[in-house]
Amino acid sequence: MTASKPSALPRPRRFLRGMRDGVPIGLGYLAVSFSLGIAAGNIGLSAFQGFLASLLNNASAGEYAGFALIAAGAGYLELALVILVTNARYLLMSCALSQRFSPETPFFHRLLVGFDVTDELFGLAIAQPGFLDPIYLYGAFSVAIPGWSVGTALGILAGDLLPGRAVEALSVAIFGMFLAIIIPPAKRNRVVGVLVVLSFAASLAFAALPFLNGLSAGTRTLILTVVLSGLAAAFFPVQEEEGGAA
C-alpha cells in the first residue's frame, strides 16, 4: 500500500467531509456516554463537571476508572497513574498515526490530532487512503467530542430517571458503531480483514486462558495491539512516497 498526497479539496470541504463521517461516531458517543454520566452523578459530580471531564478525557475506560477511584477516595497520584495505564493503548495508536502524516505536516497539527485519539476515531483515520489529513480529522473531532461530553452531562441530569435495563442497552451502540468503522477497510484490504479476525480470536483466547484472563482489559488490549501491529509491520510494511503538506 502506497501513501499518496492529501486531498486537494478546499479546507472547508475537507472539514465538512470529516464532520459527515464523524456523525455516526458522535451519535454513538452521545448514547454510550449516558451511562458514564450516570456513574459520574453517583459520585456527586455536577453536569458541568462531568461535561468538562469528558471534554478533557475522551476515553470511556479511563473515565470509568477515574470515577471509581474518586468514589474510593484515592489520591491524585494514584488517579493519574491508573488513568495513564488504562489509556496506554492510545500511545500506540498515536505512534501509528504519526507515521501516516506527510513529512511536511507541521508539529502543531500532529499535537492537536493527538488530543482526541480514540478507538473509533483511530479506526476512521486509518481507513483513509494516503497521508492523513488533519483538517478532515478536525471535522470528525468537532462532532465526536461534543457528542461524548454532552452525553455525559445529560446522563448526570437524567440520574435515576432511566431504568437500569435501558441504560445497559445503550452501551450496545458502541459495538455496532465500531463494526461500521472496521468492516469497510477490512473488505477492501485482505490483510486488514485477516488482522481483524486474528484480533477477535486472540482477544477471546486472552479472556479464556488461566493466566492471561487475570490481566485488565486495558493491559490485554495493549499486548494484543503491540503483537498484532508488530507482525503486520514486519510482514506487510506500508510503503510511503513523498507527498505534499497537509
Please indicate, yes or no, if residue 191 is contained in any of the structural domains: yes
Q: How far is CA 43 from CA 49, 71, 186, in A?
A: 11, 6, 41
Give the SS3 label for residue 88.
coil
Residue 234: half-sphere exposure toward Cβ, Cα within 13 Å: 6
Supply 3's cell numbers: 501513501
Please indicate, yes or no, if residue 67 is contained in any of the structural domains: yes
In angstroms, rounded to a whole number, what is the distance separating the alpha carbons of residues 113 and 223?
A: 24
Instruction: Provide CB contacts within 8 A for 242, sequence distance 6+.
Output: 103
At residue 5 the predicted structure's pLDDT band, cuts being 50, 70 and 90, is low
Dihedral sign, Cα of residue 47, residue 49, residue 50, residue 55: positive
In angstroms, rounded to a whole number, what is the distance separating the alpha carbons of residues 185 and 192?
A: 7
129-168 residue pLDDT tens: 888 899 999 999 999 999 999 999 998 888 767 666 765 6
DSSP annotation string for 10-76: -HHHHHHHHHHHHHHHHHHHHHHHHHHHHHHHHTT--HHHHHHHHHH---HHHHHHHHHHHHTT--H
Please indicate, yes or no, if residue 245 is contained in any of the structural domains: no
19-43 residue pLDDT tens: 999 999 998 888 888 878 888 888 8
Domain that holds residue 110: 2-240
| Confidence at residue 6, expressed as pLDDT on a 0 to 100 scale | 53
Supply 89's cell numbers: 493503548
Query: Taking 80 as the threshold, does the pLDDT of residue 245 lie above it?
Result: no
Mean pLDDT of the chain: 80
Please indicate, yes or no, if residue 246 is contained in any of the structural domains: no
Please indicate, yes or no, if residue 216 is contained in any of the structural domains: yes
Please indicate, yes or no, if residue 137 is contained in any of the structural domains: yes
Dihedral sign, Cα of residue 91, residue 12, residue 177, residue 125: negative
Q: 11 near 135, Cβ under 8 Å?
A: yes
The domain total for the chain is 1
| Confidence at residue 87, expressed as pLDDT on a 0 to 100 scale | 82
Residue that wins the pLDDT comparison between 86 and 129: 129
Q: 242 near 86, Cβ under 8 Å?
A: no
| Confidence at residue 178, expressed as pLDDT on a 0 to 100 scale | 64
207-230 residue pLDDT tens: 788 777 777 665 676 677 778 777
